[in-house]
A and B are shown apart, each in its own frame.
Chain A
Amino acid sequence: MKFKMTPNKLMIALFSAMLVVLPVVSIILPKQDKSEVENRSLQSLPTPINSVKWEAAKTPKDYLDAVKWKYINNREGEAFRDDFEKYLCDHIVGRTEWVKLCNRLQTLSGKQEINGVYTVGDQMVQSFKDYDSEGMEKAAAAINKFAERHPNIKTYVMIAPTAQEFYGNKIPSYAGLLSEKAFIDDVYKQLNGVTTIDCLSYLSAHKDEYICYRTDHHWTSLGAFYAYSAAAKSLGYSAYGMGSFNIETASNDFRGTLYSKNLDDSVPADTMEYYHLANGEPEVTMTVNTGTEIKTYDSLYVREFLDTKDKYSSFTGSNAPLVDIKTNIDNGKSILVIKDSYAHSLVPFLANHYSHITMVDMRYIQTDLGRLVNLDDYSQALVMYNAITFAEDYRNIGKLNLTK
């Protein structure tokens, strides 16, 4: 009998193919332990059996004891069936493509925000919709306390706006985005005894330039350059002009954190730039203390990160509790930077004016800051955050209270 294709046969064939090909190919292909685009470890294949006990088992009871019953039976919390489903989802062939398809379908169905990110034209924007105002006040109070307890250190606060402030006007007002300017003004009003630095109006004047990455939540080196210029007067250095720098293109295919959230390929990749002083950069020694190891570099740029997805980390290395930078500028000026990662692309500019810069990340610090660094070493302290992390991370900023 001759085989004749019918719609029914096609249905059966396609469905069977899908049910067989997807699992088989997924099993055959090598598994990744880590997802670069998601920046997390992927679920490993869970086992409901304690293998050590299983191998040592002799009696049937031993075998029964080797089974992780609770793990199998849990209704809440860690459960074998949930981990197994996660494992399948994490390792299905073409996972990223499936996620892209899902996100595109959501966009087609009218969803404007995917995982907290809006795309307006060629620009991704992280949404800032609400914050804990009490928490914000507590963070501000902790900064005030820090300044009050350390009269010898002059304290500055600079809160940077994110892309939303400049390009959010293209997002409909009913989406309920907050004004970062209003938020920053509000924080500044709560501060006493510290000098606030307004980089927003400086950046706003240049908002038509490439000051924010299209696919990442950070400012570009150009954005950081404008902030560096805005801070010059307060911090007391004379900022170099644009013409004094040689600009190196470090990467042309940078897709950042916002891309990781919505995987929107329609927005072109970013260019990442390093600004080098044309007539000789200062020599630097950068010591990065990750808490588990200490690494020393003779540059502020850790170029090995340029080969990974996480290219922004090439600025002063990835997030570490403590980064200490010594330069050969012999002016005795030293500054303690209490910061989020926005500071990473700002600090290379500051390094042209200070002999000593220390960056601390309050997320990793659970104690009196004075135990980690010698506060007497610094004449200035700069609290540098972007508006969204300042709003979200108030608890960690609040730990400045612990500083004696």
Chain B
Amino acid sequence: MVFSSLTFLLVFLTITMILYYISPKKLKNVIILISGLLFYAWGEPIYVLAMIASTAIDYTAGRIIDKFDDKPVVRKICLIVSLVMNLGLLGVFKYSGFLINSFNTWFGWSIPNPNLPLPIGISFFTFQSMSYTVDLYRRKIKVQKNAASFMAFVTLFPQIVAGPIVRYEDVQNEIDDRVITEDMVAGGISRLITGLGKKVLIADNIGILWSEIKVMELSSLSAATAWLGILAFTFQIYFDFSGYSDMAIGLGKMMGFNFPENFNYPYMSKSISEFWRRWHMTLGEWFKSYVYFPLGGSRKGKARTVINLLIVWTITGVWHGAAWNFMLWGAYFGILIVLEKLFLGKWLEKIPAFFSWFYTFVLVVFGWVMFDVVSAKTYHFGDVFGQVFGYIGAMFGANGVFADSVSLNYFVNYGIIFAIAIFGCTDALKIIVGKIRDKAPQWVQYGYPIAQMCVMTASIAFVTTSTYHPFLYFNF
């Protein structure tokens, strides 16, 4: 189920929240569990079983690890079983078809492709439940003996399909004992609406621009059109993804959970390293804790640090999708971060802030070219590079036209949305709202919930209109 649908907003959320608030404390986790399973099964009625199986195995592994606290071998076996199962699920569903197709293309083999569909959110829930067994193995957390509570942690619907990646450690206290205050509920609602607005009003609208430019003949793109297109995607992916995280965090708050933050104005960053500390923060944390540090991090000398960084970033890339361009995208950031660690970082601190911001933003935008212009089923590296450089070429006028009526038309039609998006990428609004809340008189404060309701109303209007299809041919 997606948050930006009437099914979620007007049916699922209404019913779940009423049941959640009226049920006694002991039953609240059961409500979370059932609603989470329904939420997931709405989109994945079959693979919900895979999720249940994976949760059951992690729960059991956790109990055994706890029980045989003094038997290292048993503990290790349980950990390995959990890792193999979770990574196995990811490998089979997410990467097998891609690898088979790649090998078939490269070597002319004909391994049959099972063409498995990708279960929604599999990259998220496997990472979440792995964090539990690993942390338990490391004795960082206490075991969860209540099966329903553990299941509730995995199926907690706000974060189940697109993050933030909530680790067991983050909610271990709240899962069994949480208080829901009026501040949390009101703050959660506000956060939910902020996220909904970001997704429905900004991301989806500016995304239309990119979807149109993306399918245009590459050789027909003027430089301005190419820039408008990829900038539209730059904003679309930020508002879509961070909007989703906002909604998850807000829903969590309404239910008494404090999820970790996931985005912190990434487009204001002044280096690539900083960008990745502000973009999809829970994923970065996850890779740091479970891949980078176990590899030795930066404690084993310069050469090893460089290698570790490249490994982590390449994996981060392919986590985003089973395709070579995602690996390229990850490796690209790995290389930039290595360069910043070696010498670039020091320079960036010395030059005026505008230039370090500009450097970061432009390189991130090039990253989005790698991320999104390569067509599906491109298995040859040459083709991947060809498509990426083809688009970057168009951005620098390879087609000989700087701007044309197409780019002007888009600029006029989308200028205001771009302006709103640019403003929304900065923390200006947050500062302004904060100032008003601190200093303005009480009656002005009432404007805030009213403004948020306007955003909610507008969002419902856009969601409803997505099915408005006047029969175009009628009356001929």
Q: Which residues of A contact B (CB under 8 A)?
A: 7-12, 14-15, 18-20, 22-23, 26, 37-40, 43, 69, 72-73, 75, 81, 84-86, 88-90, 92, 95, 98-99, 101-103, 105-106, 108-113, 115-116, 172-176, 216-218, 256-257, 260-261, 310, 312-313, 318-319, 340-341, 361, 363, 389
Contacts and interface: CB of A to CB of B under 8 A. Distances in A.
Contacts of B414: 110
B149 to A, nearest CB: 27
A175 B470 CA distance: 23
Counting chain A CB atoms within 10 Å of each CB, the highest count among B13, B445, B457, B461 belongs to B461
Given A9-B182, A110-B416, A175-B409, A102 B475 contact: no
Contacts of A40: 469-471, 474
For the residues of A in contact with B, the DSSP-based class is helix
6 contacts: A7-B186, A9-B182, A19-B14, A92-B6, A105-B201, A341-B475
B14 A38 contact: no
Contacts of B5: 85
Nearest to A257: B475
Contact of A112 (B183, B186, B412, B470): B412
A30 B19 CA distance: 27
Contacts of A102: 458, 461-462, 464-465, 468
Interface of B: 1, 5-7, 9-11, 13-14, 17, 42-43, 45-46, 117, 182-183, 185-186, 189-190, 193, 201, 205, 405-406, 408-409, 412-417, 420, 442, 445-446, 448-450, 452-453, 456-458, 460-472, 474-476
A354 to B, nearest CB: 22
A111 B186 contact: no
Contacts of B416: 108-110
A64 to B, nearest CB: 13
Given A15-B453, A19-B9, A7 B448 contact: yes
A110 B471 contact: no
Given A81-B7, A111-B413, A310-B475, A98 B470 contact: no
Given A172-B412, A174-B409, A95 B189 contact: no
A8 B464 contact: no
A11 B449 contact: yes
Contacts of A75: 117
B117 A88 contact: no
Given A12-B182, A73-B46, A19 B13 contact: yes
B475 A103 contact: no
Contacts of A112: 412-413
A348 B182 CA distance: 70
Contact of B205 (A23, A109, A256): A109
Contacts of B409: 172, 174-176
B43 A81 contact: yes
B452 A8 contact: no
Counting chain A CB atoms within 10 Å of each CB, the highest count among B45, B46, B465 belongs to B465
Contacts, number: 169
A175 to B, nearest CB: 6
Contacts of B417: 109-110
B470 A115 contact: yes
Contact of B413 (A110, A318, A319): A110
Counting chain B CB atoms within 10 Å of each CB, the highest count among A9, A109, A261, A361 belongs to A109
Contacts of A14: 449-450, 453
B405 A18 contact: no
Nearest to A74: B45
Nearest to A41: B471
Given A7-B445, A37-B470, A81-B43, A174 B6 contact: no
Contacts of B413: 110-113
Given A19-B9, A38-B468, A174-B408, A101 B446 contact: no
A25 to B, nearest CB: 11
A79 B456 CA distance: 27
Counting chain A CB atoms within 10 Å of each CB, the highest count among B460, B466, B475 belongs to B475
Contacts of A312: 475
A373 to B, nearest CB: 20
Contacts of B117: 75
Given A14-B453, A105-B458, A110-B412, A23 B10 contact: yes
A10 B449 contact: yes
Given A11-B449, A101-B457, A174-B405, A22 B10 contact: yes
A340 B476 contact: yes
A108 B201 CA distance: 13
B469 A89 contact: no
Given A95-B464, A109-B416, A313 B7 contact: no
B461 A105 contact: yes
A217 B6 CA distance: 33
Contacts of B45: 69, 72-73
Nearest to A15: B189
Contacts of A88: 6-7, 10-11
A11 B471 contact: no
Contacts of A11: 186, 189-190, 448-449, 452
